[in-house]
Structures are given as C-alpha cells and as structure tokens.
C-alpha cells in the first residue's frame, strides 16, 4: 500500500486534462460519443515480463488504441480500441511483427444486465426463462436464480438490446424489470428543483451529457428526477449537482438534491407477500362457507337441514350456494394458475400451475356437471366437489404466502451487509498547506474519490480509504469476521461499513459507490447466488419429466379405481356414502395431481446456497458460487519478499548515513517467476534472487556461499543472493513468519479427514523445516508458478479433489487449476480474481470455516432433497389410495393440496437453519501459552475464548480467595459469546464491609485483565460479583463491547468496570446496573473512550479516588459520549482526596451527549473528598483538575444541586466549561441550583441558579 503523506492532501480532486476540467461542465463542449471495442489475443512465446512490456509499448503506439494489458503468465493480451480508427487485424499484425505467434482471435463486445424476474414458482419456471433468454439472438450466456428471482444476461449489444431481452421474458409468461446494466454500476439519483418545463429538463440533460465521465442520463419529467451513471475516476455526484446549478440562466435557478428511490427488491417482496396474503384471505372468505356447507353443517341436524331443500328438481340450496361461492375462487382468485399453465404449455413444458389447474378444473367442472344434471333430473343423485376446488386453491395460496415470507429471510445476511455503511460523513475542506479549515456533514453518496474525511471514535467508516493522519483501532468484524479491533495508522486501508473504536483518524477516500469493498462483497455474493451448484442438476433433470409423470400417474390412478369399481373388484362398502365409483376414482386422481410438488425440489439447492453464501460473507468467507461451495466440502488442501528487502535496505541507508532519496536508475528490469529479478544498473548486471537464478546466468557460487545458504535454510529462512556482474557480493536472509494459527489449522483439517500438502517456491531445507513445525507431511519445494499448477493436476489425476490456498500473483495459475481456489484477502488482486473463495480475514482458520460451511450446506441440500423426494415418493402412493384397502385412510384433494403447500415451506425453513451456523472452533489457543515470568512482558499468544454457558462462583472464600477469571501477561486475547459469569456475591457480601478507618476487606473480582495488551471482551454477562465485576489494570488496547453487568442496588463496593493505570480503553454499547460505580477510572489511566453506555441503578461514571496513595500518575484524555444515566447516586463525578498523598493531574476530560434521568448530584467535581471524616483538618490538595468540558447534558436531577464544583482552596479548578447543560430538579420548588467553590480562581459558597461557570 502506498504511504499517503500530507502532501497528498494538496492533490486536486480531478486532474486537469488539456487545460480543461471536468469540474467546469458549464463551459464544456458537448461530449462526443466514443464507442470502443475490446479484443483478446492468445500470444505464444511470452517468456518474461520484458516481452509483455515490448508488446504493450508497440500496441499502445497504434492509432486508436485506448488501453492494452498483457499477462505473461496466461499468455494473453487484451486491447481496447476505437473501431473507427483501427481494427483487430491491424493489432494482431503489430504483435506478430515482434516475432510472437498470435492465434485464437476473439473479437466480441459483450454487455451484461441484471433483471428481476416475477412469477417463477419452481425449477421448470427458471428453466423456461433460461431457454427463452438463450433463444434470443445475441444472448451469449444467461443464468436464472429461482430463489434470488433474478437473471444475469451476457449479450452482444450490436445484435440485441435489454428491451428485447425483457420482451422475450414477458413472452414466456413472466414479468421482468431491469435492475442494472454493466455501464451504470456507479449512478446517482437526483431530485430536481426549480424546473418548470420539459425544456428545462432537456437543458439539464444536455449539460450533464457533456460532462466528461458521464456515461448515461435518464430523466423522469413527471417526477422531476434524474439518474446519472458516471465514471468515479473522472467525476462525482457533487460536481454533477454543481453542473445542474450552473445550467440555469438568470432569473431561473436550478438545484438538485439526493433522491433515494424505494428499494425495488424489498418493495416487490412486500408487494408479493401482501398480494398472496390478500388472495388467501379473499379465498377464505368464500372457501370457508363452502367447506361449512359441504362438510360440517350437513352432519349437524337440524342446523344443516335447510341445505337439502330442493330449488328445482334435484338441485338443492346447498349445491347452488357452493357453486356460487366456489366460482369466484376458481376463476378470479385462481386465475393466476390458468395464466401460468397457459404460458407453460405454450412454451412446451409443464409446471406446478399445470397440476393445480388440472386438479381444480377436474373437481370444479365435474361438480358443475353434477349440479346441471340435478337441475334437469328429478331422479338423479350425485355428490359435488366444490369444496375440493375452493379449499385446494386456498391452501396453495397459504403455502405460497408462507413460502415467500420464508424466502425473504434467506437473504437477511446480505441485507444486513448492504445497510452497514453510514448515511453521512464528515468532509474536510483543506487549505493550500493541507490544513483543515472547515468540516461539513454530507451524505455518504456525495463523497468522491480523493476527498478527505474525518472519522471520530464510535463512528462508522463511510467508504474505503487510506489513513493519512491519526491512529486508532477499527472493528472490522462486520466485514471480515475478525473479532479483535485492528490497529490503524497512516498508510493503512480502512473499509467502508467498519466501526472506528477509538482515536480520531483522517482518511483519504480511494473507492466510492460500487467500487467499495462492501459493494464488491454484495455484488460477489449476489453473483454466487445466481450460479447453479452441480447438485442442482438433479432437480433440473427430475423437473423435465416430473409433471408429465404426475399427470400420467393421476390418470392411471383414476382409471384403475374407476375400472375396479365398475367391475366390482373391490367391495361396494368401500365407497363413501353419497358417492359412486367414478367420484371416488376422481378424488383419488385429483389428490395425486395436487399432492405432487415440484417446487420443493427446485428450492432445495438455491435457498441453501443463498443462506450459506450470505452467512459466509458475514463471517469473512466470500464464496463465488454454488460450484465452489459444493466442491470445497470434499477438498484436500495445499509470500511476498521484495517489499521486506526494500524496507530493510532503506533502514541500512539511514543507519550508515545515507539520507539521500536519490536512487540509481535501472534499465531492462525483468521478473523471473519463481527465481528473482534482474536489471541493468549504471551499466552493470544486477541479479537479486535464489540459487536457480544465479545458475541461469552462470554466476559461480563458492563453497563459502553454499555453506552460508545451508545454515540459513536450516533456520527456516529463505536466502536471497545478490550478484553484480556475475559476482556474488551479498546475501539476505528473509523470514516469512508462519501465521500463528497455521499449526492449529493444519491439525484441525487433519481431524476433518483432509490431507494438507505444501507446494512452495522456497528451497527444500526451509520448506521441510516449516512443514515439520506445522505438521505437514507431504512437501513439494522449489516449484515455479507453472509447476504448482502441474502438481495440482497430478493430484487431480489420482482422483483427489484439490483446494489450493494462496495469496501471491505466483499462486494464480495454481488457484485457477485447483478444484477450489482459496485466496487470502490480503493477497494480490490477481490471486483473488483467480480464486473461487476469498478469505477476507487473511486467516488460515477461515479455510476450516469455508470447508466446514460447505459441508454443512451440502448436508442441508441433501436433507432438503431427501425430504422433497421422500415426500413425493411417499405422498403420491398415499394420495393414489394405496393404504385405503387396508386401513381405510385416504387423502382428500383439499388435504393433499395442504400437504403440497407445506412441503415447499418446509424446504425453505430447512435452508434457513443454516443462519444458525457457527464457526467450528469456539475456543482456540494458538502459539505458546502465557509465560509465568512477569518480567518477560506479555506473551505473543492469540487466544479466543467463547463463553456460551453459565459459570457460577463459590461462596467459600477459603476455597477461592483469588480472582475468579484472570487474564495476565497476555497479548491478543478475546472472550466473547452469550454466556454468564455469576460471582454469587450475595453469599459473601456480609464480609465486604469497611471499618471506620475505611479499610475494606478485598474480595475476589469476577474478571480481571492485567499486564495485557489487545484484549476484547464482547457480548457476555457479568452479575453478582463479590467485588469488582471487571477490573482492568496496567493494560493497553482493551475493548469492552456489548457487555451486560448486573447486581442488586444494595451490593457493597461492586463496581461495574474499574480501570486503573491503563491506556487506550474502549467501553461501548454496554449496560451496567451495579451496587457501586457504573464505571470507575483510577490514577494512571489515559485515552479512555466510553460510548453508548447505560448506567443505573447504583452510582454513575466516576474518576477517582485520586491522591489516596503515593506515586500516583496523571489521568488524561477521558471521553464519555452518548451515555444514559438513570436513577443513580451521582452521575458524572471527579473526586480527589482533600489531603492527597500524590501530586498529579486530572486533565482533558470531555462529557458530551449525556442524558440524566432522576440522578442525585448529576455533575460533581470534588477536590475535598474525605470519606468517614478521616482526613486531616489542614489537608491541601495536590490534584490539579483542568480542562474539563461538559456538553449537551440534559435530563432531570433528583437533588436541587444539579452541579457541584467543590474545588480546593489552594488549587482551584481551571478550564471547566459547561455548554448546553439543561438539568431540571424534579422535587418540590423546582429550582435547579449549582454550587461552585474555587472555580477558575473565584470562590463562592452560595448556591446559585445554573450559571456559575
């Protein structure tokens, strides 16, 4: 990452081009539409990087060529050119002129669009849409996701268009809306103001189209909105708004503001849910009476007797009512099934709509026949089945309603990712020297590349950028799954959507809009959810013949029962009363039609993939498709040095007095993959690389050098040789340290039945040493990039499924060759592009997560298939009456329909259970355990303890005198989960009393963190501690987040959190109800950030007791923001002993955004603290209280004295500020007072109204 110094603050937002500027659109001439094409060549004979450079140089010099990129590893050249100035043949000939062989000329312009598909119910529907799309001329590839309800189409824009594609989908009987196209991924929606005519909008549109970097402008005259697609490298939304403002000619005035259109997917999802719900309720309005009139009331005499009154001949009132009530359900509410069946049959396939339409029509029209027959005959008797038709449609609609509700939850993880970015950002305006002169709060959508923004503690990072000033820790768990906050300093990247835990940082924006990591993650996951897993082919094959098979089975069922009945093959008493053999056979046939469910099969895979990819993304594992997800479950698994050498060389130059930035010019620089680099420096051949590179250039290697290399390699270090003019003049030992979790990851993979193999370019000695250390048995060393890919192919030839884990550009061929490529997130873009799975956290533990999640997902898919297939295999015979002869059990059609609806819902709910997935390692300890010697300082362990249970303390103080859980001398420790640590304090609180000399018996704390660094405590609950619930002492970089602390109000000396002699402590989103101080901050503590904490009952947030002991240190830089204090005795308190024994300062405190609710003494500064009057009468304070700011503090006080500033006579408080403090006394008299003594040199013992500072 390039270091961004302060000079970068002076860079203009947009670089001028030819004296013009995209920032001044008003004066620009209309933009000429320049159409470009892209061509790709396979080039043979590229042996090194210099070959690629020579091709790029020659091709870039051709007229009309806009860009050229050559990959020496893949042997490919990609050229973008203007077809009116050159052509592919000319470019090809230019490359051939350099003595390279060029073949497989591919020239095609491909566009991409994403479409929302409406009306898909099962796999047959999605296949129908795919077939319709693939039949459109110019469409090269189409992928349709049933669960996602989207399609991604690659097409040639010279042959077809998006409108024709949408028309083809609509002709297939489905709805389609454009979500996005490849050229408008960065777009802004603007609401226009001051526009009074269509001419105004045309003027604005033409001005915007003339701006360099604007790709497309869409106007809505009626709504006065405009959508602009743009290139963020060239322009940005603020410049577009400025362009609109500049387009107005006085006296007219134009303006534009951001407009957020309703989220289409969510709106359509809610509309679909509401539509199915309403249709179900309307159907119930008719179906329930039909059911009552046919199945309930006739059985209850005399209440149902009226239904049998004859209207005409043998037609009864019950028949007529059932007919009238059923018809709206059949033809109005059920019309969607007719439409779906028509379009399916028109396209030559069948789906669930066909089954429902056949079943309900058979029941309905047979019933109509019965009614008409009864109407015209005095002797005819027959039973109608109107309840079958009506109830069947009602149950199917209920199932569809429940299904769409459940399907909406499958993308919850993805939805949460999209909502991570904050709505606003703090934009800095800089002067010519790079100093901030103003701050402006603007919408995140208005940020542009190279903007400089400020991020304060507790705020979210709005977009991707690089830190240019300040230091902090950033919580990236929502993006990477990393539980511990990551330290950030100038030059480090920050990711949009993450949270700045502490410290103010200044960030230069590098990526906005669709280019941010968050947007890329969302796009990658959405693409993965569209890609079909190979296991989905089973459902695709079954769906092709499923419905026709069911129709044939239903017909054979009816025919079998009807023939058997006609020839008296079964006893007459089997036929229910008021039925004949035809009607019984018809009911069996209809039940077979409607019990079969192709939807459950179609949803088995895509819903599970949707949930799994979304869950993986939330845990820092990005899976690029169902194919990778499926293959990873059966995988057998498998460093950059140049930067380290350059940095070390710089340090040597500084150490030996060479501070000049002048570097010698190098020529003919060439990379030798897997060996090193060569260059000509001031006429001398310089080689830097391994032994193989020296041998290639015939550099003699002496026995002394050989010995040094052997010694280095035995220490698991890589020896890099330096040669000048074929004489070795130096060697560098480079250690690529093992990831601390490597050994545990390899061990866990082995326990999962996965073999680990090391394939590396390092020497054999180093490779074997590292392999032995982590427990890898099979090693291939000194392998170049192509050799890595060949080794993987050899393993595949043996029938193994290979997963390759890599991070560098040298790993990209192997990542592409492997069945599953896993790229470390901190690796190169080339490696990440070639991989199937990206590990955002750069941790090998996530290899386990990826494979384990894959296995869990495949198991869930198999379970879904077992259920869906098992349901159909068992349900259809039962519906056909197999059990009827033996048990008398039969499945009425309306009940069969209910079973069919339930099967789809059950499959979706089964997939939703994947949202409960947790990483397989809950308690991890990697590297060595903590050292026992405190003098050694914190050990370099990385310990993650997950607590989900309930730990109970003991009441026997003799049995347990020490602190219960203690983290001591540890670096990198995290405890998280949802468990409870219960100190069982009520059993021993009687021992926790203080005598008259204020000497207290100290009891054990529940959780202690001392002499440690980089510690995180998140999510757990601490309750009923014997003494302090959480004690932090002499530690650094501690984060307490989302912790709950509770104990009864009468519990003595049970502080919630105590911090002493520690630095950089963050306490956020925590609820504390302790018997004593909510948070107490002691001497020697610096950089404390308390944000979003709720205190009460008990005491408030206290700094003290200062000066009680000798040799105490200053308390400095305390910030308490956005907290709520309710029902406590004192709210914000700073206290020091009247006769203090140490000389120290309490300085630079900020209390901002505090809400008080019925708090006694809300604000107190007390330099005369003297518990139990044990102080000397002539005590003098040595604790200086300076620069204390109280801002935006509102609420109610339970005492008249809302502010008490009781400062020392000899050392008055300095720099105490009150801004927007509004505290109301709730008692009698309703007068709020402030008592101020010795503040800023002024002494007053009189209580005054709230205005003493």
Q: Give the Cα separation of 1136 and 1108 in Å (integer).
A: 8
Q: How far is CA 608 from CA 89, 232, 800, 905, 1082, in A?
A: 48, 36, 26, 13, 52
Residue corresponding to tokens 């993006």: 479
Per DSSP, what are the bridge partners of residue 43?
102
Helix or strand holding residue 225 (H, E):
strand 225-230
Nearest-5° Cα angle at 896, 890 to 897: 160
User: CA triplet 1004, 1007, 1012: central angle to 5 degrees?
Assistant: 115
**DSSP structure string for 512-562:** -GGGSHHHHHHHHHHHHHHSPPTTHHHHHHHHHHHHHHHHHHHHHHHHHHH
Q: Are 541 and 430 in contact (CB under 8 A)?
A: no
- Sheet-wide strand order for 676-681: 666-672, 676-681, 684-689, 718-724, 727-734
Task: Give the residue among 697, 740, 744, 745 at the shortest CA–CA distance from 721.
Answer: 697
In the chain, DSSP finds a helix count (H) and a strand count (E) of: 29, 63
User: Tell me, what DSSP letter sits at residue 1090?
Assistant: E
Identify the DSSP state of 473. E
Angstrom distance (rounded) from CA 228 to CA 217? 5
For residues 619-651, one letter each, b for 16 or more C-beta atoms within 10 angstroms of the residue's C-beta and e for the rest, the string is bbbbbbbbbbbbbbbbbbbbbebeeeeeeeeee
Residue carrying structure tokens 């000509």:
680
> What is the 3-state secondary structure of 686-713?
EEEECHHHHHHCCCCCCHHHHHHHHHHH
Q: Which of 1055, 981, 974 lies closest to 1017 in space, CA to CA?
A: 974
φ and ψ of 58, to 5 deg: -65, -45
* Tokens linked to 999: 């000497």
Nearest Cα to 622, choosing from 919, 839, 914?
A: 839
Strand partners, 940: none
* Sign of the alpha-carbon torsion through 502, 505, 508, 513: positive
The four Cα atoms 632, 638, 642, 648 give a dihedral, to 10 degrees, of: 110
Residues labelled as active-site residues: 1099
Phi, psi of 700 (to 5 degrees): -65, 140
CA dihedral sign, ordered 153, 159, 162, 168: negative
151, 120 Cβ separation under 8 angstroms? no
**Tokens representing 210?**
């003339």
Distance CA 474, CA 484 (A): 9
Looking from the CA of 353 toward its CB, the CA atoms found within 13 Å total 23
CA distances from 1106 to 357, 1120, 1145, 1164, 1209 (A): 82, 19, 9, 14, 17
Q: Residue 847, CB half-sphere, CA atoms under 13 Å: how many?
A: 34
Tokens for 1026, please give them: 């014997």
- Which contiguous run of DSSP H or E holds residue 1157? strand 1144-1159
């Amino acid at each position: 990452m390039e270091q961004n110094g302060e000079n970068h603050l002076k860079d203009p937002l947009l670089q001028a081009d030819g004296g013009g500027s995209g920032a001044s659109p008003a004066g620009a001439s209309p933009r000429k539409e320049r159409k470009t094409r892209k061509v790709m060549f396979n080039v043979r004979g590229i042996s090194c990087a210099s070959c690629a450079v020579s091709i790029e140089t020659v091709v870039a010099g051709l007229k009309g060529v806009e860009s050229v990129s050559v990959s020496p590893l893949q042997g490919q050249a990609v050229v973008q050119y203007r077809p009116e100035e050159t052509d592919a043949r000319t470019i090809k000939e230019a490359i051939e002129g350099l003595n390279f062989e060029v073949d497989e000329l591919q020239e095609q312009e491909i566009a991409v669009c994403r479409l929302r598909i409406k009306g898909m119910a099962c796999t047959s529907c999605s296949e129908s849409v795919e077939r319709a799309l693939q039949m459109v001329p110019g469409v090269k590839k189409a992928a349709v996701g049933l669960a996602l309800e989207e399609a991604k189409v690659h097409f040639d824009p010279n042959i077809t268009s998006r409108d024709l594609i949408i028309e083809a989908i609509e002709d297939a009987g489905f709805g389609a809306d454009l979500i996005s196209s490849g050229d408008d991924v960065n777009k802004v929606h603007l609401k226009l103001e001051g526009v009074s005519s269509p001419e105004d909008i045309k003027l604005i549109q033409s001005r915007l189209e003339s701006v360099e970097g604007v790709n497309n402008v869409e106007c809505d005259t009626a709504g006065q909105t405009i959508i602009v697609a743009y290139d963020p490298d060239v322009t940005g939304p603020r410049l577009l708004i400025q362009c609109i403002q500049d387009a107005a000619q006085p006296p007219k005035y134009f303006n534009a503001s951001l407009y957020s259109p309703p989220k289409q997917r969510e709106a359509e999802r809610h509309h679909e849910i509401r539509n199915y719900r309403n249709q179900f309720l309307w159907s119930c309005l008719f179906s329930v009476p039909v059911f009552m009139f046919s199945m309930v009331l006739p059985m209850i005499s005399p209440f149902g007797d009226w239904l049998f009154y004859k209207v005409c001949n043998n037609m009864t009132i019950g028949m007529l009512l059932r007919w009238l009530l059923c018809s709206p359900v059949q033809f109005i509410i059920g019309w969607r099934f007719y439409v779906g069946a028509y379009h399916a049959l028109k396209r030559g396939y069948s789906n669930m709509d066909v089954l429902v339409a056949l079943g309900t029509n058979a029941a309905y029209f047979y019933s109509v026949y019965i009614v008409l027959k009864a109407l015209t005959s005095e002797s005819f008797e027959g039973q109608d089945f109107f309840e079958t038709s009506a109830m069947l449609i009602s149950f199917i609609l209920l199932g569809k309603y429940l299904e769409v509700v459940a399907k909406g939850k499958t993308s919850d993880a993805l939805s949460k990712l999209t909502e991570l970015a904050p709505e606003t950002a703090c934009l800095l305006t800089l002067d010519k020297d790079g100093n901030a002169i103003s701050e402006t709060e603007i919408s995140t959508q208005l940020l542009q590349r190279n903007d400089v923004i400020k991020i304060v503690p507790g705020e979210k990072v709005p977009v991707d950028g690089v830190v240019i000033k300040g230091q902090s820790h950033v919580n990236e768990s929502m993006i990477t799954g990393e539980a511990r906050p990551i330290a950030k300093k100038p030059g480090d990247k920050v990711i949009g959507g993450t949270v700045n835990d502490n410290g103010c940082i200044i960030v230069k924006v590098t990526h906005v809009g669709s280019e941010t990591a968050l947007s890329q993650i969302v796009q990658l996951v959405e693409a993965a959810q569209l890609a079909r897993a190979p296991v989905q082919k089973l459902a695709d094959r079954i769906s092709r013949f499923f419905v026709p098979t069911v129709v044939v089975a239903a017909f054979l069922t009816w025919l079998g029962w009807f023939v058997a009945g006609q020839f008296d093959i079964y006893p007459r008493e089997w036929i229910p009363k008021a039925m004949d053999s035809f009607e019984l056979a018809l009911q069996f046939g209809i039940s077979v039609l409607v019990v079969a469910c192709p939807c459950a099969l179609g949803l088995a895979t895509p819903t599970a993939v949707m949930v799994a990819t979304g869950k993986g993304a939330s845990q820092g594992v990005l899976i690029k498709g169902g194919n990778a997800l499926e293959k990873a479950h059966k995988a057998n698994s498998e460093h950059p040095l140049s930067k380290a050498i350059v940095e070390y060389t710089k340090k040597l130059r500084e150490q030996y007095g060479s501070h000049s930035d002048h570097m010698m010019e190098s020529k003919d620089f060439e990379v030798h993959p897997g060996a090193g680099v060569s260059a000509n420096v001031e006429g001398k051949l310089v080689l830097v690389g391994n032994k193989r590179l020296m041998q290639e250039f015939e550099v003699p290697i002496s026995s002394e050098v050989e010995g040094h290399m052997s010694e280095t390699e035995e220490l698991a270090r890589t020896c890099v040789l330096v040669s000048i003019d074929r004489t070795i003049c130096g060697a560098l030992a480079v250690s690529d340290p093992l990831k601390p979790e490597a050994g545990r990851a390899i061990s866990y993979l082995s326990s999962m039945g996965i073999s680990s193999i090391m394939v590396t370019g390092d020497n054999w000695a180093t490779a074997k040493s590292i392999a032995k250390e982590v427990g890898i048995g099979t090693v291939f060393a000194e392998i170049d990039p192509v050799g890595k890919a060949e080794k993987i192919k050899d393993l595949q030839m043996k029938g193994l499924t290979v997963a390759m884990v890599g991070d560098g550009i040298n790993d990209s061929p192997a990542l592409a060759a492997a069945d599953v490529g896993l790229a470390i997130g901190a690796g190169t873009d080339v490696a990440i592009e070639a991989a199937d799975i990206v590990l955002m956290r750069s941790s090998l533990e996530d290899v386990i997560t990826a494979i384990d999640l894959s296995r869990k997902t495949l198991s869930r898919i198999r379970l879904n298939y077992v259920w869906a297939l098992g349901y159909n295999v068992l349900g259809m015979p039962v519906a056909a009456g197999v059990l009827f002869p033996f048990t008398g059990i039969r499945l009425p059609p309306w009940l069969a329909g209910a079973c069919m609806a339930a099967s789809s819902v059950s499959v979706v709910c089964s997939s939703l259970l994947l949202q409960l997935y947790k990483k397989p390692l809950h308690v991890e300890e990697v590297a060595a355990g903590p050292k026992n010697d405190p003098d050694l300082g914190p050990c370099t362990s990385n310990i993650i303890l997950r607590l989900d249970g309930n730990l109970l303390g003991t009441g026997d103080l003799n049995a347990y005198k020490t602190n219960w859980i203690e983290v001591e001398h540890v670096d990198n420790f995290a405890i998280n989960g949802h468990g409870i640590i219960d100190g069982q304090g009520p059993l021993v609180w009687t021992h926790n009393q203080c005598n008259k000399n204020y000497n207290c018996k100290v009891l054990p704390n529940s959780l202690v963190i001392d002499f440690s660094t980089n510690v995180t405590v998140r999510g757990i609950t601490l309750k009923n501690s014997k003494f302090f619930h959480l004690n932090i002492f002499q530690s650094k970089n501690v984060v307490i987040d989302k912790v709950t602390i509770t104990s009864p109000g009468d519990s003595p000396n049970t502080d919630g959190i105590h911090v002493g002699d520690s630095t950089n402590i963050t306490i956020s989103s925590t609820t504390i109800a302790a018997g004593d101080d909510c948070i107490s901050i002691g001497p020697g503590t610096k950089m404390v950030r308390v944000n979003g904490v709720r205190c009460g009952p008990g005491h408030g947030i206290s700094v003290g007791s200062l000066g009680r002991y000798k040799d105490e240190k200053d308390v400095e830089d305390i910030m308490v923001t956005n907290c709520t204090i309710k029902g406590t005795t004192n709210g914000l308190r700073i206290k020091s002993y009247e006769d203090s024994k140490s000389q120290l300062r309490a300085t630079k405190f900020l209390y901002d955004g505090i809400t008080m609710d019925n708090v006694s003494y809300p604000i107190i500064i007390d330099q005369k603290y003297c518990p139990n009057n044990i102080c000397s009468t002539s005590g003098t304070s040595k604790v200086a209280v300076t620069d204390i700011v109280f801002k935006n503090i509102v609420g109610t006080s339970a005492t008249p004295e809302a502010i008490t500033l009781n400062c020392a006579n000899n050392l008055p408080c300095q720099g105490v500020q009150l801004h927007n403090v509004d505290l109301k006394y709730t008692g009698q008299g309703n007068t709020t007072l402030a008592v101020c003594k010795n503040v800023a040199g002024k002494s007053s013992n009189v209580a005054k109204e709230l205005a003493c500072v």
